Amino acid sequence: ICRLASFLRCKCCILLSRLNRPLTLSEKIVYGHLDDPHRQEIERGRTYLRLRPDRVAMQDATAQMAMLQFISSGLPKVAVPSTIHCDHLIEAQTGGVQDLAKAKEVNCEVYDFLSSAGAKYGVGFWKPGSGIIHQIILENYAYPGVMLIGTDSHTPNGGGLGSICIGVGGADAVDVMAGIAWELKCPKVIGVKLTGALSGWTSPKDVILKVAGILTVKGGTGAIVEYHGPGVDSISCTGMATICNMGAEIGATTSVFPYNHRMKTYLEKTGREQIAAQADEFSHLLVPDDGCEYDQLIELNLDELKPHINGPFTPDLAHPVSEIGAVAEKNGWPLEVKVGLIGSCTNSSYEDMGRAASVAKQALDKGLTCKAQFTVTPGSEQIRATIERDGYSKILGDVGGVVLANACGPCIGQWDRQDVKKGEKNTIVTSFNRNFTARNDANPATHAFVTSPEIVTAMAIAGTLNFNPETDYLTAANGEKFQLDAPYGDELPAKDFDPGQDTYQHPPPDGSSLRVHVSPESDRLQLLEPFDKWSGGDLEDLKVLIKVKGKCTTDHISAAGPWLKFRGHLDNISNNMLIGAVNSENDGINKLKNYLTGEYGGVPDVARHYKANGVSWVVVGDDNYGEGSSREHAALEPRHLGGRAIIVKSFARIHETNLKKQGVLPLTFSDPSDYDRIRPDDHISIRGLKTFAPGKPLTAAVKHSDGSEETVKLNHSFNQTQIEWFQAGSALNRMKALQ
């Protein structure tokens, strides 16, 4: 951190003299990692920054494709410290020990590939059972002032330790691992000023649930959310991480908190006393300057903030817990809570588990257990071992909880749920971050709500959404009415953390002689072939594959759950392309007309048929297309199956970049109402590519089946470097051409 602080101080001095204004904290860290601070053009929301992140982290589902791309680059070793984390491929079925053992057996080929690739190319490997990537980063790699990119959308979790941690696609990670400057559109900065203090049933999760209700799922797009103000000191370091983590659900580039004593305590407790001391020494660099300006300012009084619960089907539909019962009744949402689930990368800290256990203990003391099913997901092996040692696991188990593996599990759809049939309307309550349709259990009729772990625990005990623990009563085993006291949990363990089992594999000093094997017969892994280059002309007579209606997240474009096993095999994973999207023609899911045959089929099947017959195609979509996960498969699959452009009202940041990286044109209607002019049976020609330039719109010549034609103006956000990716066929092709 001394080296980093010196680095930041030098660059910040350059920038202060250039910009001649006070800097926000996020500007200090982001601009402090500029490749060329002397000449870099800086304008929030307009220019592209060339940055030099300090680290890369990859979870196992996205690491497969990232490492396959790195192997294709021909480079011998990564240029920056990088790690792989095995957390996505473990399915929740019966319990942590059994589920982990089965995952190791089922995913042996993938784990061996990631382990050997990590050893050969200099990448650290956290074995299955280690924990969720973001918790591991917080415990080991995040620290004030660092810039880290991760191939998962919830990488911003590290902002709870004053880091700038940004979720990206695998191709972006490859750039950084290759030692190439990484591009990011200069973020705007949204300030959230916190006053007052958290108390009672109100938790850090309620801060971001409230902010999500204010900003919506796209209100943070293109911006960093920077929390500040006196209220910050009432939030633990892991609580700040919770807030930053779920900032992904408002589309934010990342979120960050200023350095304070809560971070110092966490650093010391996780064995990083020297970093804490150095952060104290350079603390003036790790907070915003007085008088700095934000593009938007939100003020929250934590004294007045009430417990919240958001959902169903979208994480920005915010309700006070005190009102959710009435709202659910009015809307016909099931009141009975079938399952309560705590944990995930958002809420699995020692403090979270302690507060949930304090609620569970009160119920047990009154002779009660959970009416709903109840699951507990520790965030890391260190958390699992420590809460087991300190008795929290026993309390949560005694109240009815099943402790799952240290992994993502149900939060990402890795859940072999058996208590309801697909299509059966039901309610679950989770402490997760995301609750899109069918995300957790592949059941589109499941109404998923996100809230704090302590509210989840209380509702699992009560068995209903219509329960406000601040005012409502439970009935003890002896018939006595009682209220739950406000939860309490120690911020950090009184003793040191118990590290549990050692699950980390450090790469050898020289892995050049090691071999990474990918079988040609494998259905899990597939070496990549380069995409074709741009032809040099306009894209003529593209078929509209599907006109998507309404919300289309990366879960809709490339589903997770059972499809995770194919994340290293592009052709096989492409069989899930857009199978969750709603077709505007018939409101059907995975049902569209093949205009070559006249028959109806699944989206991937029709796309494959078009490709086999030399027909290229486009997708037409709605607002905030591609929100959610960072998974670049949602960009790779359309490219692999013959897609050339995605034309929508607006994009989510990561998905737009992922499309550019793979040589697909992400374009937006200059007039959003032009979406309504496109018909499902149209052909579209994209004109102006011979003079493709930054800031210069393209044109779509739209040919309708009745013979009529019209022209639509299309905007784009390509800079010159990104245009070169398109012309080369992909960013990876361009990288190899420059070697």
Q: Give the residue numbers annotated as catalytic, written as ranges.
A: 87-88, 152, 434, 629, 631
- As a whole number of angstroms, the distance between CA 38 and CA 413 comes to 46
Check the CA dihedral 632-637-640-644 and report its sign.
Answer: negative
For the chain, the distance separating the N- and C-terminal CA atoms, rounded to the nearest angstrom, is 32
Amino acid at 514: L
- As a whole number of angstroms, the distance between CA 706 and CA 708 comes to 6
Say whether 614 sits in a helix, a strand or coil.
coil
* 443 contacts 302 by C-beta, under 8 angstroms: no
- As a whole number of angstroms, the distance between CA 8 and CA 190 comes to 22
For residue 113, give every residue at least 6 positions away whose Cβ sits within 8 Å of its Cβ, in sequence order, or none.
64, 67, 516, 517, 518, 525, 568
Say whether 436 sits in a helix, a strand or coil.
strand
Position of tokens 């078009």?
A: 610
Around Cβ 59, how many Cβ atoms within 10 Å?
Answer: 30
Q: What is the largest CA-CA distance in the chain?
A: 80
Around Cβ 254, how many Cβ atoms within 10 Å?
Answer: 30
**DSSP bridge pairs for 92:** 415
* 241 contacts 349 by C-beta, under 8 angstroms: yes
Position of tokens 């007045």?
A: 304
Q: How far is CA 70 from the centre of its chain?
A: 22
Burial (Cβ within 10 Å: 0-12, 13-18, ≥19) of residue 495: exposed
Around Cβ 529, how many Cβ atoms within 10 Å?
Answer: 9
- As a whole number of angstroms, the distance between CA 405 and CA 640 comes to 34
Q: What angle do CA 46, 49, 50 make, to 5 degrees?
A: 155
Amino acid at 701: A
Say whether 292 sits in a helix, a strand or coil.
coil
Extract the tokens encoding 96: 């942590």
Say whether 71 sits in a helix, a strand or coil.
helix
Around Cβ 74, how many Cβ atoms within 10 Å?
Answer: 10
**DSSP bridge pairs for 377:** 343
* 132 contacts 20 by C-beta, under 8 angstroms: no
Say whether 161 sits in a helix, a strand or coil.
helix
C-alpha dihedral over 240, 243, 244, 245, to 10 degrees?
120
Position of tokens 């200099």?
A: 122
- The DSSP-derived string for 352-417 is HHHHHHHHHHHHHHTT---SSEEEEE-SBHHHHHHHHHTTHHHHHHHTTEEE--SS-GGGGT-B--
Extract the tokens encoding 309: 């619960």
